[in-house]
Chains A and B, each alone.
Chain A
Amino acid sequence: MDKWILKYFTLIRVMIALIIGVAVTILMIYLISEYPGESLKYFFTGPLVSKGRLFNILEMAAPMIFCGVAIALSFQADQFNLGAEGSFIIAAAVGTAFAVSTNMPAFIHIPLVLLVAGATGAAWSLIPGILKAKWKASELVSSLMMNYVALYLSLFLINSYFRDLDAGFLVSLRLPETALFTQFLPGTRMHFGIILAVIAALAAYYFLYHTTSGYEFRQTGYNKQFARFGGINIIKVIIMSQVLLGFVAGVGGVSEVMGIHGRFLWQGFPNYGWDGIIVAIIGRSHPILIIFSSLLLAYLRVGGQVLNLMGDVPAELVNVIQSLIILLITAEAFLGQWKYRITRRQAEKEEAAK
Chain B
Amino acid sequence: MSELFSSIFSVNFGFAILRVMTPLLFPAIGIAISTMAGSQNIAMEGSMLIAAFFGVIVGALTGSLALALIAGIAAGVLLCMILGYFHLKLKADIFLSAVALNMFASGITIFLLFMITGDKGSTSSLKSPIFPNFHIPLIEKIPIIGGIISGHNVLTYVALLSVPLFFILMFKTPLGLRIRAVGQNPDAAESVGIDVNRTKMYALMISGVFAALGGLYLSMGYVSWFSRDMTAGRGFIAIAAATLGGMMPVGLLLSSLFFAFVSAVAIYIASLNIPSELIQLIPYLTTVIALAVFSGRATRKKKEKAAAEMAQKKLEQQGQQ
B277:A136 contact, CB within 8 angstroms: no
A32, A145, A146, A326 — most chain B CB neighbours (10 Å): A145
Check if B134 is an interface residue, CB within 8 A of chain A.
no
Check if A324 is an interface residue, CB within 8 A of chain B.
yes
The interface on chain A, measured as residues whose beta carbon lies within 8 A of the other chain's beta carbons, has a size of 46
Residues of chain A within 8 A (CB-CB) of B166 are none
CB distance from B274 to the nearest CB of A (A): 10
Check if A319 is an interface residue, CB within 8 A of chain B.
yes
Check if B96 is an interface residue, CB within 8 A of chain A.
yes
A-B contact list, 17 entries, CB within 8 Å: A32-B115, A136-B299, A137-B291, A137-B292, A140-B95, A148-B233, A148-B236, A149-B284, A149-B288, A274-B99, A277-B99, A314-B111, A319-B108, A320-B111, A322-B103, A332-B90, A336-B91
Check if A101 is an interface residue, CB within 8 A of chain B.
no
B104:A324 contact, CB within 8 angstroms: yes
Check if A215 is an interface residue, CB within 8 A of chain B.
no
Known: A144-B239, A330-B97. A131 touches B103 (CB 8 A): no
A316:B243 contact, CB within 8 angstroms: no
Residues of chain A within 8 A (CB-CB) of B93 are 330
B107:A320 contact, CB within 8 angstroms: yes
CA distance A349 to B228 in the complex (A): 56
Interchain residue pairs A-B with the least CB separation, the first 8: A319-B107, A323-B104, A331-B90, A156-B277, A152-B281, A135-B295, A137-B295, A326-B100
Identity of the chain A residue whose Cβ is nearest the Cβ of B296 in the assembled complex: A135
B86, B103, B281 — most chain A CB neighbours (10 Å): B103
CA distance A141 to B236 in the complex (A): 9
Check if A199 is an interface residue, CB within 8 A of chain B.
no
B292:A135 contact, CB within 8 angstroms: yes
Q: Mark A235-263, 1 if CB is under 8 A from B, else 0.
A: 00000000000000000000000000000
Check if A334 is an interface residue, CB within 8 A of chain B.
yes
CB distance from A217 to the nearest CB of B (A): 19
Check if B114 is an interface residue, CB within 8 A of chain A.
yes
Check if A327 is an interface residue, CB within 8 A of chain B.
yes
A333:B110 contact, CB within 8 angstroms: no
Check if B197 is an interface residue, CB within 8 A of chain A.
no
Task: Tell me which of B106, B110, B115, B284 contacts A148 (CB under 8 A).
Answer: B284
The interface on chain B, measured as residues whose beta carbon lies within 8 A of the other chain's beta carbons, has a size of 45
Residues of chain A within 8 A (CB-CB) of B292 are 131, 135, 137, 142
Within 8 A of A (CB), among B275-321: 275, 277-278, 280-281, 284-285, 287-288, 291-292, 294-296, 298-299
Residues of chain A within 8 A (CB-CB) of B90 are 331-334, 336
B111:A156 contact, CB within 8 angstroms: no
B277:A319 contact, CB within 8 angstroms: no
CB distance from A315 to the nearest CB of B (A): 9
Identity of the chain A residue whose Cβ is nearest the Cβ of B232 in the assembled complex: A268
CB distance from B92 to the nearest CB of A (A): 4
Residues of chain A within 8 A (CB-CB) of B278 are 152-153, 156
A326:B95 contact, CB within 8 angstroms: no
How many pairs, one residue from A and one from B, have CB atoms within 8 Å of each other in the complex?
Answer: 145
Residues of chain A within 8 A (CB-CB) of B91 are 331-333, 336
A145:B277 contact, CB within 8 angstroms: no
A319:B103 contact, CB within 8 angstroms: yes
CB distance from A236 to the nearest CB of B (A): 19
Within 8 A of A (CB), among B158-180: none
Within 8 A of A (CB), among B243-297: 243, 275, 277-278, 280-281, 284-285, 287-288, 291-292, 294-296
Instruction: Identify the A interface with B (CB < 8 A).
Output: 32, 80, 127, 131, 134-138, 140-142, 144-146, 148-149, 151-153, 155-156, 159-160, 269, 274, 277-278, 281, 314, 316-320, 322-324, 326-327, 330-334, 336
Identity of the chain B residue whose Cβ is nearest the Cβ of A318 in the assembled complex: B107
CB distance from B191 to the nearest CB of A (A): 24
A317:B111 contact, CB within 8 angstroms: yes
B275:A159 contact, CB within 8 angstroms: yes
Residues of chain B within 8 A (CB-CB) of A141 are 239-240, 243, 287, 291
A319:B106 contact, CB within 8 angstroms: yes
Check if B216 is an interface residue, CB within 8 A of chain A.
no
Known: A135-B299, A274-B99, A326-B100. A145 touches B291 (CB 8 A): yes
Check if B101 is an interface residue, CB within 8 A of chain A.
yes
CA distance A155 to B279 in the complex (A): 12
CA distance A160 to B288 in the complex (A): 25
B277:A155 contact, CB within 8 angstroms: yes
A145:B287 contact, CB within 8 angstroms: yes
A80:B95 contact, CB within 8 angstroms: yes
Task: Tell me which of B92, B101, B120, B281 contacts A323 (CB under 8 A).
Answer: B101
CB distance from A338 to the nearest CB of B (A): 13
Extra contacts, 20 of them, besides A316-B110, A320-B104 (Cβ < 8 A), are: A131-B291, A131-B292, A131-B295, A136-B299, A141-B243, A149-B284, A153-B277, A153-B281, A155-B277, A156-B275, A156-B278, A160-B275, A316-B107, A318-B107, A319-B107, A320-B108, A320-B111, A322-B100, A330-B96, A332-B91
CB distance from A82 to the nearest CB of B (A): 8
Known: A131-B292, A135-B292, A274-B99. A327 touches B277 (CB 8 A): no
